[in-house]
Amino acid sequence: MKTIDPSTVPDALSERDLEQIQALVFRGWARDFPYAGFLFVKLPRTYEPPDSKPDPGRARAWLRAVSADVAYMKGPTATTLPAGGDRTLPGRLQLAFTTRGLRALGLDEQVLKRFPDEAKAGMERRARVLGDRITLAETQKELIPDPENLILIEENKPMPTDWLDEERGGMDLRDCDAMIMLYGASRQDVIAIDDAQRKRLAEHGGTAIRTEMSGEWKEREPFGFADGLSQPAVKGQPARGGVAPSPNNEIAAGEILLGYRNQYGQVPKSPAFDVEPDDSAGFDVGKNGTFLVFRKLEQDVKGFWETFGKLARDWQGVAGIPSSIEEATHWLAARAMGRWTNGNSVLLRPDAPGEKMKPDEINEFAYGADAGGVKCPIASHVRRANPRDERGGDASDSWKVVMRHRILRRGRAYGDLPTIDQAMKGDVSEYPMGLLFVCLQSSIAKGFEFVQQIWNNNPGFHGIYQEPDPITGPGDSTFTIPHEPARLRTPPLPRFVIPRGGGYFFVPSRATIELLAG
């Protein structure tokens, strides 16, 4: 492959690039289309299992049919085009593939091998990196003779323990080839899109594995905390809301999309065809594409608020903690999250949530003035997920490190979400609820997996001792709240978030979809 001089590659998007990039990179669709569905499919095979083989001809015919509905930021099927007229889709559609699906479409084997190891392995084989529970018998499936043999990796995947519970919504996506993301103004619209896609898939010989439906977008996650507040801006992306991003929140395009310089000043490796004999660059399959992580996370909403309610009763009267049980419960839960339920940081509002801050102010803070975590505990969830200026060295060095590990989140909640008052009173549905977590990055290992392993699940994060994330961590660990005159330390907390399945996907550009379909 031809060596690329990073200095010749931009770190910002141009107007022309927006015609190639799927709109999901810039739009979560929440306000336009508050309902969503995630349809997982298996592309056509020539025989029945176990002797089935991909049928690239029929798979490409299916892709040609579905590609007309994929939304991009600019150009044909752009986000600005309304439904109706030539667009019969009552919403928006985005498309992503596993490496297994790319093979089913007939992508060159050498190009497939150039995909990152974690993308080829899939989330199932990264269970121990992510902290997912896995049985000893399942770990034996990880003993693969040739890690570079993509077929062996795809056919020899373990199944994390918590993914097996079908009654709680456990998912098995080991045979998944593609994910179709569906967005609509109503649940009926999403169901209509889902039905149409399933029919189209069946006509071409494919199989629908399952559809995960979200609830209505509520601007909060199931525990009741405001969600989607801290998102990085990509250099060159279309402006929204008239608010310019702060310098520490605008990241190089190469952190999210392949084909651009990243925060290291390098160009991430991209799966491209070999250079042609005339020394012209081979087609870059990855250019303007991104890697997507999908993860179904069940949340124990009732257990969460019961736990902090009990702590509030046990610590009632302790100096600094509100005397009201309800306020004390909120105070303690906010310390674990790092924000109040309205989204205000406990760093900026340590005593009470106050009125929700304006959008251009709510993220304008740094942790340097609270190095000891007295206002916002070091172990809290949001402080770990985005440490800002407090991740080693001086503030400028910390910002550099943090900006190399930012991700774009595009998830939706599922289930019957209670109001915050209902949640605190334990008045919640008996059926599972949680988050259909979706994030985008140019490197899964440097993005999602790094944040999950090195920051969230790390029991020694930033000098603390034996304390993983109190919200999303594995549970059975204490949580320390620095306090004056003495710190507060909880008993071991239960596990509040349980993974129920997921997968790693590639979101291709318009040009790559045209290549795969043709």
Residue 360 pLDDT: 84
How many angstroms separate the CA atoms of 431 and 418, rounded? 12
One domain, residues 202 and 344: no
What percent of the chain stands above pLDDT 90? 78
> Using the 8-state DSSP alphabet, how is residue 324 labeled?
S
Helix ranges (DSSP H) in 15-108: 56-67, 99-104
Each residue's pLDDT tens digit, 472-493: 999 999 999 998 888 999 999 9
pLDDT bracket for residue 83 (50, 70, 90): very low
Each residue's pLDDT tens digit, 197-207: 999 999 999 99
Task: Please provide the average confidence, as pLDDT, over all residues in the chain.
Answer: 91
Q: Is 497 helix (H, G, I), strand (E, B) or coil?
A: strand
pLDDT bracket for residue 5 (50, 70, 90): confident
Residue 50 has pLDDT above 70, yes or no: no
One domain, residues 513 and 440: no
One domain, residues 223 and 355: no
One domain, residues 337 and 289: no
Query: Count of alpha carbons within 13 Å of 217, Cβ hemisphere only?
Result: 20
Q: 193 in a domain, yes or no?
A: yes
Residue 222 pLDDT: 96
One domain, residues 375 and 431: yes
pLDDT bracket for residue 237 (50, 70, 90): very high
Residue 39 has pLDDT above 80, yes or no: yes
pLDDT bracket for residue 29 (50, 70, 90): very high
One domain, residues 290 and 311: no
How many angstroms separate the CA atoms of 91 and 82, rounded? 9
One domain, residues 145 and 166: yes
Residue 496 pLDDT: 98
> Using the 8-state DSSP alphabet, how is residue 458 labeled?
-
The closest of 476, 478, 513 to 494, measured between CA atoms, is 476
Q: 60 in a domain, yes or no?
A: yes
pLDDT bracket for residue 334 (50, 70, 90): very high
Residue 316 pLDDT: 86
Q: 219 in a domain, yes or no?
A: yes
Residue 367 has pLDDT above 50, yes or no: yes
Residue 150 pLDDT: 84
- Residue 50 carries which side chain, given as an amino acid letter? P
- Measure CA of the first residue to CA of the last residue in the chain; give whole Å: 24
Each residue's pLDDT tens digit, 275-328: 765 545 589 999 999 999 999 999 999 999 999 999 999 998 888 899 999 999
Q: 246 in a domain, yes or no?
A: no
One domain, residues 167 and 108: yes
- Burial of residue 39, with CB atoms counted within 10 A of its CB: 0-12 exposed, 13-18 middle, 19 or more buried: buried
Helix ranges (DSSP H) in 446-492: 448-450
The closest of 43, 41, 293, 62 to 179, measured between CA atoms, is 41
How many angstroms separate the CA atoms of 89 and 48, rounded? 32
pLDDT bracket for residue 85 (50, 70, 90): very low
One domain, residues 206 and 325: no
One domain, residues 303 and 192: no
Tokens 């039905």 appear where?
Answer: 195
Residue 142 pLDDT: 74
Two structure tokens written together for 313: 């009763």
One domain, residues 513 and 443: no
pLDDT bracket for residue 1 (50, 70, 90): low
Residue 40 pLDDT: 98
**Widest pairwise Cα distance in the chain:** 78
| Cβ–Cβ under 8 Å, residues 298 and 498 | yes
Residue 51 pLDDT: 65
Each residue's pLDDT tens digit, 376-409: 999 999 999 999 998 877 899 999 999 999 999 9
Each residue's pLDDT tens digit, 130-186: 999 998 888 877 766 666 678 888 888 899 999 999 999 999 999 999 999 999 999
Residue 246 pLDDT: 78
Q: Is 488 helix (H, G, I), strand (E, B) or coil?
A: strand
Two structure tokens written together for 204: 């071409």
Count the domains in the chain: 2
Q: Which of 187-196, 319-328, 331-340 has the lowest mean pLDDT?
A: 319-328
- Which is higher by pLDDT, 245 or 321? 321
Q: 392 in a domain, yes or no?
A: yes
Angle (CA) 460 465 467, round 5°: 75
Residue 508 has pLDDT above 50, yes or no: yes
How many angstroms separate the CA atoms of 253 and 442, rounded? 9
Q: 264 in a domain, yes or no?
A: no
Each residue's pLDDT tens digit, 402-421: 999 999 999 999 999 999 99
| Cβ–Cβ under 8 Å, residues 141 and 158 | yes
What percent of the chain stands above pLDDT 70? 93
H or E element in which residue 168 lies? none
Q: Which residues contact 204 (CB under 8 A, 6 or more apart)?
A: 44, 58, 59, 61, 62, 65
Residue 251 has pLDDT above 80, yes or no: yes
Residue 388: give the domain boundaries: 298-406+422-502
Q: Is 383 helix (H, G, I), strand (E, B) or coil?
A: helix
Each residue's pLDDT tens digit, 219-234: 999 999 999 888 999 9
One domain, residues 148 and 289: yes
How many angstroms separate the CA atoms of 252 and 293, rounded? 20
Q: Which residues contact 327 (CB under 8 A, 6 or more apart)?
A: 352
Highest mean pLDDT among 48-52, 464-468, 491-495: 491-495
Q: 121 in a domain, yes or no?
A: yes
Q: 485 in a domain, yes or no?
A: yes
Residue 463 pLDDT: 87
